[in-house]
Amino acid sequence: MDVNLEQLRSFVAVAQVGNFTRAAENLHLAQPSLSRQIASLEHDLGAELVQRGRAGSTLTTAGESLLPLARRMLADADSVRRELAELAGLQRGRVRLGATPTLCISLVAEVLSAFHAAHPGIELHLSEHGSRRLLDELAAGELDLALITTSDAAPADRFSVAPLLVEELVLISSAAAPPVTRRRTIGLAEIAALPQIEFSPTYDLRSTTDAAFRAAALTPDVVLEGAEMDAVLRFVERGLGVAIVPAMVLIDRPGLRSVRLEAPALARTISLARPTDVATTSAVRVMQRTIAATATAFAARAGATMRLAEDGSAVSRG
């Protein structure tokens, strides 16, 4: 028996419409070609499958028995094709990811490492900017995905913005110096009196901390202003001052110690944004799943200072 998919597809088409002419039109075949496919299938199976009549075509008992099996075989074949196409898509292509600077030295480093190890043929592009600039790049078609920080995770008009993590901001100091407090938390008034290292004004984090001090009518004692994340962490490690940073950046940094802020704590929501008017590729969908899995692992490592937004499933839906 040498049954092939074209024979089965022809048989199912005739069964659906009950007419050889219409079935041939639906398959974009000449009717003689369709008739030959059916005749060949009947010969290979050794049974009549379709009864031709003036009023149309009906299935025989053998044809009725074959129909569900033929449909299942065709569905399985389509599934295999989709899987192979997915695999081929992950052997080549590109993913353009944007992220804020604080995320690039923590979450994104883990994401890209895991993704590249699994799919080395995918070309990766990274854009490191503040959230507003990243959204502009998404709108311009320059990025596929962007990890941004949002205060309330509200969706933007042109983007799907899925909350991923909710993360506390903490005060860090040098592990080589005495603790800034013996308590488990510290207030903004105490922090304002300590020598501080402030981020560049372009950082989303800088806007958050500045707003918190203004709301409390406090003026922090700034010893250095305008630094990037890597520099801030190194300066604090050397004992130059303290800084308010996302809890995430402390992972695997033994040279720093941290203390949580008193209530109301400062926090940020990390979200994954993508354009709503652009279809995602296989590689981009896998990148979304990699980001979601890595975020879950980060939340588990960070303990009380970080939690998954909602149930952590929002990112994988895109």
Q: Average pLDDT over the chain, rounded to whole?
A: 86
> 107-121 in b/e burial notation, b at 16+ Cβ within 10 A?
bbebbbeebeeebee
312/97 Cα distance (integer angstroms): 20
Question: What is 167-267's CATH number?
Answer: 3.40.190.290
Closest C-alpha among 89, 138, 133, 128 to residue 108: 128
Report the CATH fold assignment for 5-89.
Arc Repressor Mutant, subunit A (1.10.10)
pLDDT value of position 87? 60
Under DSSP, the state recorded for 279 is: P
Residue 308, number of CB atoms within 10 A of its CB: 19
pLDDT value of position 85? 62
Q: Which residues contact 122 (CB under 8 A, 6 or more apart)?
A: 90, 92, 93, 94, 95, 115, 116, 283
Q: Do domains 5-89 and 167-267 have the same CATH topology?
A: no
In terms of pLDDT, which residue wins out, 151 or 161? 161
Per-domain residue ranges of the chain:
5-89, 97-163+272-298+309-317, 167-267
Q: Which residues contact 270 (CB under 8 A, 6 or more apart)?
A: 103, 107, 147, 148, 149, 163, 164, 165, 166, 167, 295, 309
Superfamily of domain 97-163+272-298+309-317: Periplasmic binding protein-like II (3.40.190.10)
Tell me the per-residue pLDDT of 184-211, one tens digit each, with 9 for 90 and over.
999 999 999 999 999 988 787 888 899 9
pLDDT value of position 82? 64
Rounded percentage of the chain residues whose pLDDT exceeds 90: 49
Predicted confidence (pLDDT) at residue 226 exceeds the cutoff of 90: no
Predicted confidence (pLDDT) at residue 312 exceeds the cutoff of 60: no
Closest C-alpha among 223, 228, 233 to residue 194: 223
Confidence at 2, pLDDT banded by 50, 70, 90:
low
- Do 267 and 166 form a contact (C-beta atoms < 8 A)? yes
163/153 Cα distance (integer angstroms): 6
117/115 Cα distance (integer angstroms): 5
Report the pLDDT averaged over residues 297-316: 66
268/129 Cα distance (integer angstroms): 17
